Amino acid sequence: MITNPRIKPPIVTDELNTQEVHAFPVWEVFTKKKETDAHTHAGSLSAPNAQMAANFAREHYGQDQVCCSMWIGLRDDFKSTDACEDTYELFVQWNAGDRHVHVGQANASSREDAETKCKTEFVGDKEFYTIWSLPHQAMHAIDGDEDMIWRTTDQSYRLAKGYSKIVRQKWDAIRASKEVDDYQKEDLKDTF
Amino acid sequence: MSASANVEVKVKDGSGEDPEKLAAFEAHVQAGGLIEPNDWMPEDYRSLMLRMAEHHANSEIVGALPEGEWITRAPNLKRKLALTAKVQDEVGHGQMLYEVAQDLGKSRNAMLRDLITGKTKYHNCFNYPCPTWADICMIAWLIDGAAILNQGTLAHGSFGPYIRTMRRINMEEAFHFKHGEDMVLTLMSGTEHQKKMAQDAFDRWWGPSIAFFGPHDRPDELERPAMKWRMKTATNDELRQKFVNRFAPAAMATGLVINVCEKDEHGMVTKATPDPLLKLDEETGNWGFTQPDWDEFYRVIRGNGPCNDERVALRRFSYEQGEWVRNAILNGQTTSQN
Ligand SMILES: [Fe+2]
Ligand SMILES: [Fe+2]
């Protein structure tokens, strides 16, 4: 049975005349998988504003696994060196290759101050690779209790483990029926 | 899908860099060290990593096109839900990989435009047709299975942002693969008609699956930048052998026959004969197999495959049709900071 797709767009090779899109700002997304976990860097995304970034983050970084809370911050806000008196959220990347993990908060007068406090209060003598800090007020939070992140319907169809049992059963059935076929070959030849 | 396989680029090896810095960098990555975006890296490492991530991103979003076209024609609700989730995942893989590439210095917009104007490529296997539902089953089982093997090794590479992305992606590929296996087993334990559908689709996809890992290794493979700088941690031929060792016996156990096929210009099989080289070498534990048709591979990669034009046209159509959405978002934009 061969069927055709519904859309067959024309094959065009002339110049593109759609407008270029100006680069959207980049946002960093942190997810918390369960209550006892710390917020951990999940990845980044490009979006024009905080609201679009939040929608995108929920759909993209909240759907791969159970997720109870998300934080989203503009990448530029992690870099700005403007003095800003605030409570800073502190993230440490312990080794190159690791994800940044939230270690705690510190009241600080600037980013530099915040990162110094992060070292004294949360890092100590341990080795680390990089620190990220963000003024609390610049962080957008999505609480999974109030604003759904992980859907409450059964989503096992989109997880590998949702298939392990049925796949096993099907293999068993195929193998068993092969054995029966082999066994019955002799039957078919003569008497039956 | 696969980043490293069949990227046709002129590879430079870092000559021109400060020899001391280069030597320290190479010693670091060869000892298993990782590189983060703000660390020093040779300019050639940056540009090769960028092209790898961009090619990988292109492959994810083009790969979702033939599958997306089957969502409306899925055989039942359960399969439709799973296929929709898979397509969402694949486009999501593209989004994450474009972020990695963008951070290495090329704008997302330039990447999207280069893809639809043919300046950059995507994985060759998506230039083949997908005429039946069984092709969807085979793509998920064989192509996603090949992608997991490949990306599993890429996740041990040297560039931090890329390997973090690989780990997240591989978790989702595991679902695609298991779902594919479930669908293939369903067909192969079904009616004669279903089994024939599966065999026909398998004949179309076995060749592209073993070609998936890219051309033969060169004699100096391990000295080339991608391996030397640990962007890749296994060679194309190693991965291909691993794939055949895993999938040939599994396919045969379901009742599928591994054929060597001739195809017409539409990618449809005109002649299929059982692979004469297919047998287990007891000593090495490796399965023998007939190599993919490399002439066909290069013909398709240069743009003359059965579906090259159609895939790019659909991507371009989506980009052009999406213009008003981008404008609406940009013009109705509130400030991006609070
Ligand atoms: Fe993917
Ligand atoms: Fe996939």
Give B-chain residues touching A22 at CB under 8 angstroms. Answer: 109, 330
pLDDT at residue A5 in the model? 64
Tell me the average pLDDT across B280-287.
96
pLDDT at residue A113 in the model? 94
pLDDT at residue A148 in the model? 80
Nearest to B189 among A16, A49, A173 (CB): A173
A75 CA: distance to closest CA in chain B (Å):
11
B32-70 confidence digits (pLDDT tens): 999 999 999 999 999 999 999 999 999 999 999 999 999
Counting DSSP H helices and E strands in chain B, the numbers are: 13, 2
A95-118 confidence digits (pLDDT tens): 999 999 999 999 999 999 999 999
pLDDT top residue among A41 and A18: A41
Whole-number Å distance, alpha carbon B140 to ligand 2 midpoint, is: 7
- The whole-model pTM stands at 0.92
pLDDT at residue A6 in the model? 60
Tell me the average pLDDT across B18-24.
93
Say if residues B262 and B269 touch (Cβ distance below 8 Å): yes
The pLDDT of residue B4 is above 50: no
A133-187 confidence digits (pLDDT tens): 999 999 999 998 888 888 778 889 999 999 999 999 999 999 998 888 888 877 7
A24-47 confidence digits (pLDDT tens): 899 999 999 999 999 999 999 999
Q: Where are the domains of chain B?
A: 19-331
Contact across the interface for A44 and B181, Cβ inside 8 Å: no
pLDDT at residue B85 in the model? 96
The pLDDT of residue B6 is above 50: no
Whole-number Å distance, alpha carbon B91 to ligand 2 midpoint, is: 9
Task: Categorize the per-residue pLDDT at B246 as very low, low, confident or very high, splitting at 50, 70 and 90.
Answer: very high
Say if residues B85 and A158 touch (Cβ distance below 8 Å): yes
The pLDDT of residue B9 is above 70: no
Query: Distance between CA atoms of B216 and B235, rounded to whole angstroms?
Result: 9
Whole-number Å distance, alpha carbon B257 to ligand 2 midpoint, is: 24
Nearest-Cα residue of chain B relative to residue A5 = B69
Q: DSSP readout, B192-242?
A: HHHHHHHHHHHHHHHHHHHHTT-SPPPTTGGGSHHHHTTS-SS-HHHHHHH
Give A-chain residues touching B163 at CB under 8 angstroms. Answer: 97
Tell me the average pLDDT across A2-8.
65
Interface test with B, best of A84, A101, A140, A170 (most B CBs within 10 A): A170
Around Cβ B158, how many Cβ atoms within 10 Å? Answer: 24
Contact across the interface for B330 and A22, Cβ inside 8 Å: yes
Is A180 in a helix, a strand, or coil?
Answer: helix
Q: Which CATH number fits domain B19-331: 3.40.190.170, 1.20.1260.10, 1.10.1200.10, 3.40.50.1470?
A: 1.20.1260.10
Query: Distance between CA atoms of B278 and B249, rounded to whole angstroms?
Result: 10
* Strand ranges of the sheet holding A130-135, from the earlier edge strand across to the other edge: A130-135, A86-93, A101-108, A40-46, A26-32, A69-74, A140-143
B17 CA: distance to closest CA in chain A (Å):
23
Query: Distance between CA atoms of A104 and A91, rounded to whole angstroms?
Result: 7
Tell me the average pLDDT across B77-81.
96
Nearest-Cα residue of chain B relative to residue A29 = B96
Interface test with B, best of A4, A8, A11 (most B CBs within 10 A): A11
Query: Distance between CA atoms of B52 and B44, rounded to whole angstroms?
Result: 12
Q: DSSP readout, B117-184?
A: TTSS---GGGGS---SHHHHHHIIIIIHHHHHHHHHHHTTSSBHHHHHHHHHHHHHHHHHHHHHHHHH
Contact across the interface for B177 and A9, Cβ inside 8 Å: no
Sign of CA dihedral A95, A100, A104, A110: positive
B114 CA: distance to closest CA in chain A (Å):
10
Task: Categorize the per-residue pLDDT at A16 as very low, low, confident or very high, splitting at 50, 70 and 90.
Answer: confident
Q: Where are the domains of chain A?
A: 10-156, 159-192
pLDDT at residue A150 in the model? 82
Say if residues B114 and B42 touch (Cβ distance below 8 Å): no
The chain-wide mean pLDDT, for chain B, equals 92
